[in-house]
Chain A
Amino acid sequence: MTDVVVVGAGVAATAAALSAAREHARVVLVDGGTGASSLATGAIDALPWQNAAAASDREASANGPAARSGAVDPRGRAVLDALGGYALPDRPALLLTTAGIARRADGHDAGLLNVAPLAGRRIGVVRCERPGWDAAAFAAAWGDSFVVVDATVLRYLDERVLPDGDFAARCDDAGRLGWLSERLREAVATAGGSPIAALVLPPSLGIERARAAELSARVGLPCGEALAAPGGPAGLRFERARDRALEAAGVERVRARASEVTRESDRWCVALDGGRTALADALVLATGGLIGGGIEYAPSEAMIASVLPPFARVPFRATVAIEGGSPLGMHGRPLELPGSLFGVAPESLAWPFAREAPMDRVGVLADADGRVSPGLYAAGDLVADAPRTWLHALESGARAGTNAARDAGAATSGHALATAGGAASPSRP
C-alpha cells in the first residue's frame, strides 16, 4: 500500500514526488518516459519570457530596475535545492541563444552562462567546428561586447559531428575538463584587445552535472553554454538530477504507462500497462501537455473515414482516462469547441492563427491547489490555462505533491481511527 502515486517523470512529477516524500509519505512514481522536460533548453521561467520581459519593462519604467517575475515559493525552492544544478538569481538572467538573441529568464540550468551580471564587459565566444555553432554570427548577433575567441575545444575528429548530448558527456571526465580549461586559458591569454571577462561555449559541459562552475574555477573566468535547440545536454542533466534526487528521497519508481484511473472503495487505482495496477490514497497526475503526451490531439476525423463523422467531437483527450468522464477544459470551463458538420477546423485550435490557442491552454481543470477532485491532483503542463513553463511545473508539482501527501495522511489516519480507535498516525505531521 502506497500513500501517494505520481504519474509522470518530468519536472512537475519529480517536484510532486519529492514534496510528498518530504511530507513522509510513501511515494511511487510511475515513469512512462519523459517528454517536454527532457527537451528543456535550460532556461527556467515562471511566465513565457516574452510576456515576462514585456511586463518587467512596464514595471521598470514605473518602479526602477526590474525584478524577477516569479519568486519561487518555499516548497518549489526545496525541490530545486534537492535537484541541484539550477541557478535562480535575484535579478533576471540573460541567456544567449543559438538562434541569435540574448533573452531574459527567471533562472537557468547551471551549465548556461548568465551574462546579465557581465553587462558592458567583453565576452568571448569560443570558435569551434561544432554543427550549427557559428561564433562570428553569434558574436555579431548578441551584441557589441561579444568577440570571437579561437580555442581548441575539439579533441578528436568525431567531435565535429557528435550530437550535443554525446559531446557534452565527454566533459564529465575530469581529465577532459582539465584539458579543456588549459586550452581556454591559453586562448584567453593570447586573445588581443581588452581583457576577456567570460567565455560562451557550445552546449558541451557535461550531462551528469553541469561542469560550468568547475571549468570557470579552473579557467579563472565565468564559462558557460549558450541556450540551444531542444534535446541537448540541459535536458539530459535534468534527467540525471531527477534520478539522483528521487533515489535519495526513497521514491520507488515503476517503469510503465498509466492508462486509467478509477476509484475503488476509498482508494485510487491506476491501471498500468502490462496488466498491473497501483493503489494509493492520493494521486498526482503530471503527464504533461501536448508534448509530454498527457494531452493528445485526437480529432474525430483524424483518421478520415470514408464517410464523415456524424458530428464534430472535442478534438483533445487525456491519455490517462479518469473515472467519471474527461475533466479537460480551458478558460476555467469544461471543454467545448465549436465544430461544423465537417469537424473541427484545426486553424482555430493552433498557433499561429490564434494568440490564445486551445493547443496552449487545454488541460485538466484543477483548483489553485492543483486539486481535480478530493485526493486527485494535476500538475505541470497538464493543468488547464496554466503557463507551460518550467517554474510553473515545479511549483504546481510541489504544491500538488504536498497536498496529496496530506490527503493521504488524513486518509490513513482515518483508517487508523477506524481500526485503532482514534490513535493518529505518529509519522504524519
Chain B
Amino acid sequence: MVQGESVPPPVSLPPLQRAMPVAEEGLATTSTDVVVVGGGVNGVGVARDFALRGLRVVLFERNDLAFGASGNSSGMIHGGVRYLSQAPHVTESSCRDSGYIQRIAPHLLFRLPFLMPIRNGAMGRIALELIDAYFRAYDDYQPLKRGEPHCRLDATDVARLEPGLAGTLLGGITFDEWGIDGARLCVLNALDAIENGARVHVHTTVETIARAPGGDGPVRYVVEARDRSTGERVCVGARVVVNATGAWSPVTASLGALPQARVRVRPGKGVHIVLDRRLSNYGILSEAIDGRQMFLMPWQNVSVIGTTDDDYYGDLDDVHATSEEVRYLVQGVARIFPSVREARAIGTYAGVRPTLYEYGRNEDALSRDHRVVDHAADGAPGVYSMIGGKLASYRMFAQELCDRVATADFEVTVPCATHTRRLPGGEGIPDATALAVEHGLTPVAARRLVYRHGGRARRILERVARTPTERDVTCPCEPVLEAEVRHVIREEMARTVYDVARRTRLGLGACGGMRCAARCGQIVAQERQLPPSEGGRMAREFVETQARARVVAMGPAQARQEALALAHLRSSLGESRDA
C-alpha cells in the first residue's frame, strides 16, 4: 500500500476475518480460464489481451460497458503532462501508450491542441519561463504519441490564435494532446475480445465469488452472476478472477470475502459540463478561484468544461453533477474565457475516478498511477484486483496484468498483441465524403459514422443498401442513422436507449433526446423482441435521466427547451411517475 505522507492513518480495529465461501458442487455450468469483473476500460482491455493470447475469458458488467469513469472521463488520451513533476514515469508511459492507441484505433482519435495562456503580472515572466521549461521536458515524450513539440507564444500570437481570451496576457504555451471517445474505446475492446473467443455479459452483476469445491484444479473459483433485466443466473468456473471494477473495487472484493482494505481506492468525483458547440479550436487551460487547473476544450462536435475532483462516497450507480459544481467550473473558465458565461450548456456528466488510496492528501495531489493487487496474500491465489489507472494507459495496465497472469497461472508465453493488432474498424477506414456520395448521406452523417465505426461503417451502410428505410436519421442532432442504431443493438451489445446513446451519442446533443428517444426505444424493442411498452419505458427513463443531468446547468435558453421537452414528452409518451 502506498504510504500517506505525514498524516498517520487513523487507528482502525483489526478487520473481521471472513473466509471466501466454498461453492456448492456442480454449481458452475461452464468453465473458463479467466473471469473479468467490470466492463470499464481496464476490464475490457484485460479481456481483449487474454483473448488475444488464446485464453478463454468471460466478462461480467453490472451496468453497461463504459458506464462508470471510462465513459465519463474528459475524453482524452493525454500524455499526463500534469504528472510530469510528481511522477514522470506516468507521463512517459501515458505518452507511449497514447502512440499505441493511435496505431490500433486511428479513426477514434482527434488532435486536440491545447493553449495555456499566461497572465501578465508580477510573476508572469517567471511563470512563462518555468512553464516553457516544463513543456520542453514534455517535448521529449511527444514523439511517442506523434505530438507536435510545444510552442512559446507572445501576447499577439495568443490573441490571434484565440481572440476570446480575456485579460492582459504575457503570452502562452501550446501543446498537443489527443481526444478520444472513451465509451467507444471500451466497446471496441470488448468487440475484439468477443471476436477472439471471449464472452461478454452486460447488465449482469456478480453476486458471489466462491472457491470451487475440490480446490486447485484448472477451476479454482466459481463466479455467480445474475442478469439484472432477465434475472437469469450465470455460473462460471475459472482459474483466475480479475476485479477491474474501478470505484466499485471494494464492493467487488467483498463479494469474495476479500479484505476491502487491500483494494481501497480514493473515489474522486469528476464533473464535466457539455456546451452546445465548439467554442474554440483549442483546448484552453484556466485556473479556478482556488488555484485548481481546469479546461475548456472542443470535443467532437461540442465543448467540454472540466473538471472537479472531490472525494465521493455516494451511490456509485447514480453519480450526477450539482449546480454548485457547475457554477464552480463555469466561473473558473470564465476568468480567462468570458464567453462561456453566455454559452449554452446542454448537459453535464460525472464519473468517479478510482484513484490509488492515500490518506489525508489533497485530491489533486493523488497519484494517477495504477497497481495490480495479488490476492494470493489474502489466501486467494489467482484473484487479482486492478486499482487506479487512467484511460490513456489502460492498454499498458492490461498488459502488465496479463503478462504476469499468463506466465504465473497459465504458463502461456504468447506475447502481448494489443499494441499491434488493430481494434475493430481500425483498418480500411473509408473516405467519409466518398461514402456520403455513394450512399446518399449528408457529409456530416457520413463523417460522424466513420469517426465512430472506422472501417466498420461499411457494415452499417450495407444495412442501408439492403433496407433503404434505415437511412432515416433517428437522432438529428448527432446525426445517427437508424441503421447504426440497429447495428449497435445487434453487434455491440446495446440493450437500452442509454446503451445506444453511449455507443452512438444519440440523444446527447442539444435536444436532450426529445426528438429521438421514443424512436430509439421502438427500435430497441423491435430488435430485442421486447413488448413496445418496454421501449417506451426505456425512452422515458433516458429522457428523464438526461433532464436531471441538464437541469443543473440550466440557463435561460435551456429552461425553455426543458419546458418544451417536458410538454412534448407529456403529450406523446407520458410521464413515468404517473404510470
Contacts and interface: CB of A to CB of B under 8 A. Distances in A.
A101 B576 CA distance: 13
B469 A304 contact: no
A297 to B, nearest CB: 3
A227 B331 contact: no
Contacts of B518: 98-100
A156 interface: no
A358 to B, nearest CB: 10
Contacts of B560: 290-291, 293, 297
Interface string A271-298: 0000000000000000001110100111
A338 to B, nearest CB: 14
Interface stretch (B109-117, B225-233, B251-259, B320-328): B320-328
B510 interface: no
A137 B323 contact: no
B238 interface: no
Given A103-B574, A137-B523, A345-B323, A350 B556 contact: no
Interface stretch (A48-56, A81-89, A173-181): A48-56
A137 B530 CA distance: 11
Interface stretch (B367-375, B410-418, B546-554): B546-554
A214 to B, nearest CB: 26
A359 B559 contact: yes
Nearest to A315: B559
A350 B559 contact: yes
B172 interface: no
Interface stretch (A4-12, A35-43, A414-422): A35-43
B571 interface: yes
Given A229-B572, A230-B568, A290-B563, A350 B521 contact: no
A360 B575 CA distance: 14
Contacts of B327: 301, 304, 342-343
Interface stretch (A21-29, A127-135, A260-268, A398-406): A127-135
A290 B556 CA distance: 9
Nearest to B548: A352
Contact of B564 (A50, A230, A308, A355): A230
Contacts of B571: 41, 43, 49, 97, 227, 230
B517 to A, nearest CB: 9
B342 A303 contact: yes
Q: Of residues B322, B519, B564, B572, which shows the largest number of chain A Cβ atoms within 10 Å of its Cβ?
A: B572
Interface in A329-385: 342-343, 345-347, 349-353, 355, 359-360
Contacts of A66: none
Interface string B557-579: 00110111011101111110110
B554 A346 contact: yes
Interface in A229-268: 229-230
Contacts, number: 159
A388 interface: yes
B468 interface: yes
Given A131-B472, A291-B563, A304 B568 contact: no
A302 interface: yes
B532 A100 contact: yes
B551 A346 contact: yes
A298 B555 CA distance: 7
Contacts of A305: 341
B515 interface: yes
B137 interface: no
A306 B335 contact: yes
A231 to B, nearest CB: 9
B331 A304 contact: yes
B473 interface: yes
Interface in A192-236: 227-230
B556 A97 contact: no
A350 B562 contact: yes
Interface in B306-354: 322-324, 327, 330-331, 334-335, 341-342
B521 A129 contact: no
Interface string B530-541: 001101100100
A140 interface: yes
Nearest to A48: B570
A191 interface: no
A141 interface: yes
Contact of B322 (A293, A347, A350, A360): A347
B495 to A, nearest CB: 17
A50 B575 contact: yes
B431 to A, nearest CB: 24
B567 A388 contact: yes
B525 A137 contact: yes
B301 interface: no
Given A297-B560, A350-B559, A359-B562, A129 B469 contact: yes
Contact of A50 (B525, B544, B555, B574): B574
A100 B334 contact: no
B533 A141 contact: yes
Contacts of B324: 342, 345
A24 to B, nearest CB: 35
Contacts of A138: 522
A293 B474 CA distance: 29
B322 A54 contact: no
B53 to A, nearest CB: 43
Contacts of B473: 131
Contacts of A343: 323, 327
Contacts of A342: 324, 327
Contacts of A137: 522-523, 525-526, 532
Contact of B559 (A50, A297, A308): A297
B275 to A, nearest CB: 13
A304 B578 contact: no
A346 B556 CA distance: 11
Nearest to B516: A132
A351 B547 contact: yes
A129 B468 contact: yes
Contact of A97 (B322, B525, B564, B573): B573
Of residues B324, B525, B570, which shows the largest number of chain A Cβ atoms within 10 Å of its Cβ? B570
Contact of A347 (B515, B544, B552, B559): B552
B529 to A, nearest CB: 10
A289 B518 CA distance: 25
**Nearest 10 A-B pairs (CB), nearest first?**
A297-B559, A141-B532, A99-B518, A290-B563, A50-B578, A97-B572, A99-B573, A99-B572, A137-B522, A346-B554
28 contacts: A39-B564, A41-B568, A50-B575, A97-B573, A99-B536, A99-B539, A100-B532, A101-B574, A134-B526, A137-B522, A137-B526, A140-B532, A291-B567, A297-B556, A298-B556, A301-B327, A302-B555, A304-B330, A346-B551, A346-B553, A350-B562, A351-B547, A351-B566, A352-B544, A355-B577, A359-B562, A360-B566, A388-B567
Interface of B: 322-324, 327, 330-331, 334-335, 341-342, 468-469, 472-474, 514-515, 518-519, 521-523, 525-526, 532-533, 535-536, 539, 544, 547-548, 551-556, 559-560, 562-564, 566-568, 570-575, 577-578
Given A103-B572, A141-B525, 4 more contacts: A289-B563, A304-B327, A345-B324, A352-B577
